[in-house]
Amino acid sequence: MKITVDVEIPESEFARAPFVQKALEGLNPQVHTRFVTDKEALCARIQESIKQKKYNAISTELTSRLNFLPAAEDALKCMCSAGLFSVQRVEWGEPVTPFIDIIKHIPSPLKDKLKAEIVREAMEFLSKSRYLDCSRLPIIPYAETLAAMTQADLLNVRSAIVTITQMVRLDTTRTAGITCLGKLVEMAFEKIRQCDMQIFETINAALAYAQRDDFFVYDLEYVISALGGSQNKSSLSLRRSGTHHKSSILSLAYSGPGSTREIVVSSSADGSIATWDGSGQLLQNVILSRHYASSLDLSSRGRALIVGTVGTKGDVPPAVIIYEAVHDNHWEERDAVEPKDAVFVTAVKSIRAATQLRYLVAVNTPAANPLLLYDRKQLVQEYTNHTDIITSVFVPPDRDTTVITGSRDCTVALYDTRSRQRTATIKSHFNSVTALGIFGENCLFTGGLDKRVVVDDMRMLGHQPTCCDMDSAVLSLSVASPTQCAVSTLTGVHVINFSNGNMLPATSRADSGTQSSCYNSLVWNSNGSVLYAGGDSTTLDLYVKTFDGDFESA
């Protein structure tokens, strides 16, 4: 015969429990003593403490019960149902932290066991299949508990984010995942700030999934605003479109008011080269007879124009044409060079800080893809490091020795013109690099067909860069500040805000008026208030920054 005795003892008698157990077992060797809890009464005391906002007594009792192993399981069930996961607690507006603090002060290894049980129960509930528009109220206490545990270092923030973003990716758990992500941002923001960029890319990718559903507009705005910007408010508005070209605009160049004049020059596949003032008024048009300009740049404080051209017929070789501003600042052709064996001129870029006219020309030949450095018409240097076509060339405006190139071989190369060797190679892209930009001396922006914009610190190449995933291939980019970059993709113009210490790049789409265009070239004006864009629409489009629905005058 086996005898089982259930014994309920008050908290004050926990110290005597071993003696009670020994006494009962001494009566008969077959006696099995089991300590039980009046769970209904304990839950009622927990609820009353929440209602009265008085936690000292219940915290002391729960701590004692959890530390007393025979009573720990029942105590944890009561604390979860009446405290941690209580919808009533949420409706009363009371925090979950008093109960999290209890777990924090339980010694290991019991603390680890209790923590694991709480997480197991929470995930079992959150992983249930739900409709996207289901009530959030039952989910909130579970989300709060996980967020508070993360904030209290009971859960690893990286693991929590990975788990939550996996929930966001599934239709059946997206609502629970978004709710948990919002609570995590609200309650454990400082922990998130300390994460590496890979985690922020994971969050970004999860938010992209959530954008498919209109149910989460508020949640997305809250999360993205907290981590670095606004998703819904456009940072740019289309102010003006200048009509002139008959075909797509291929390239733009800008010279600011610090130069002789503020102008924007655009080139088109129709063979025309248009010069505009800073407000988008047409000043001059140049027509090429045998070529069209695929790329161009301004030099000599806006008084020299370097044009990379492609022949309109197969027997016309590509050339680089140099124009100078004369008389009333109209362009007149002065010089031209035809790079040897060139099949295409893919990019031209002036070295603006040089005292004489110096410029770079990227060409494609049957044997290589060289980058050529010219003094006026004289070839002085040649680099042949890229294994595929050079798609973009950039020279920081205040330097005359640093050159940056992007290529279809997926790499970015850095050169010092005082040497015939490249100084560094960056491999941050998985497809062709299509666009380059820089702010200050060290903040390098690159974009590519892999739909990525990458920001590198040129002083720490090889370290983890900041990355932002776009909706489609990057065609062009222009940098306004170390925290803001305009990007053109196949769907129009977007602005990336890298605020809060480059934590989470937040992208907003520009207000493009009645239509969106594929822009082949973007360039900011000198103070970053006006963005000039040219592409398939054939117009020179001027975008201005928006502030609370209004915009600055161009």
Q: What is the DSSP string of 26-48?
A: HH-TTEEEEE---HHHHHHHHHH
pLDDT confidence band for 116 (50 / 70 / 90): very high
pLDDT confidence band for 551 (50 / 70 / 90): very low
Average pLDDT over residues 86-115: 93
Give 28 or 499, the one with higher predicted confidence. 28
Q: Please name the residue that has the structure tokens 């890979």.
A: 198
Average pLDDT over residues 157-168: 94
d(CA 308, CA 393): 12
Asked if pLDDT for residue 84 goes beyond 90, the answer is yes
Q: What is the 3-state secondary structure (H, E, C) of 247-297?
A: CCEEEEEEECCCCCCCEEEEEECCCEEEEEECCCCEEEEEECCCEEEEEEE
Would you tell me how many other CB atoms lie within 10 Å of the CB of residue 198?
10
pLDDT of the residue at 219 = 83
Minimum mean pLDDT among 64-73, 97-106, 144-153, 193-202: which range?
193-202
- The residue type of 176 is A
Backbone angles phi, psi at 306, to 5 degrees: -105, 125
Backbone angles phi, psi at 477, to 5 degrees: -150, 160
Q: Please name the residue that has the structure tokens 């609502």.
A: 175
Average pLDDT over residues 2-16: 63
CA distances from 516 to 90, 265, 355, 540 (A): 45, 22, 41, 13
pLDDT of the residue at 6 = 60
**Largest pairwise CA distance in the chain:** 118
Return the CATH number of the domain spanning residue range 11-227.
Answer: 1.25.40
- pLDDT digit string (tens) for 485-543? 899 999 889 888 765 444 456 677 777 665 667 899 999 998 888 999 999 989 999 99
Asked if pLDDT for residue 548 goes beyond 60, the answer is no
Q: What distance, in Å, lies between the first and last C-alpha atoms of the chain?
A: 95
pLDDT confidence band for 190 (50 / 70 / 90): confident
- pLDDT digit string (tens) for 464-479? 778 888 888 999 999 9
- The mean predicted confidence, pLDDT, of the chain is 86
Average pLDDT over residues 90-108: 93
Asked if pLDDT for residue 38 goes beyond 80, the answer is yes
- pLDDT digit string (tens) for 322-348? 999 887 678 999 999 999 999 999 999
pLDDT confidence band for 550 (50 / 70 / 90): very low
d(CA 315, CA 267): 22
pLDDT of the residue at 515 = 63
Is the alpha carbon torsion for 151, 156, 162, 166 positive or negative? Answer: negative
Asked if pLDDT for residue 227 goes beyond 90, the answer is no
Asked if pLDDT for residue 552 goes beyond 50, the answer is no
Whether pTM > 0.75 for this model: the answer is no
Pairing of strands 506-509, 519-524: unpaired
pLDDT of the residue at 506 = 62
d(CA 155, CA 112): 10
Asked if pLDDT for residue 25 goes beyond 70, the answer is no
Average pLDDT over residues 19-39: 71
pLDDT of the residue at 505 = 61
pLDDT of the residue at 502 = 42
Average pLDDT over residues 403-408: 95
d(CA 33, CA 72): 16
Q: Please name the residue that has the structure tokens 């904030």.
A: 151
CA distances from 93 to 43, 87, 247, 287, 390 (A): 18, 10, 62, 71, 60
Average pLDDT over residues 380-402: 90
- pLDDT digit string (tens) for 423-462? 889 998 999 999 999 887 788 999 999 999 998 888 777 6
pLDDT confidence band for 2 (50 / 70 / 90): low
Give the distance, in angstroms, between the CA of residue 123 and the centroid of all CA atoms in the same chain: 28
Quick one: what percent of the chain has pLDDT higher than 70? 88
CA distances from 357 to 297, 334, 522 (A): 12, 12, 24
d(CA 201, CA 1): 64
Asked if pLDDT for residue 1 goes beyond 60, the answer is no
Return the CATH number of the domain spanning residue range 236-291+311-322+387-545.
Answer: 2.130.10.10
Give the distance, in angstroms, between the CA of residue 203 and the centroid of all CA atoms in the same chain: 9
Quick one: what percent of the chain has pLDDT higher than 90? 56
Q: Please name the residue that has the structure tokens 């494609």.
A: 364
Domain ranges in the chain are 11-227, 236-291+311-322+387-545
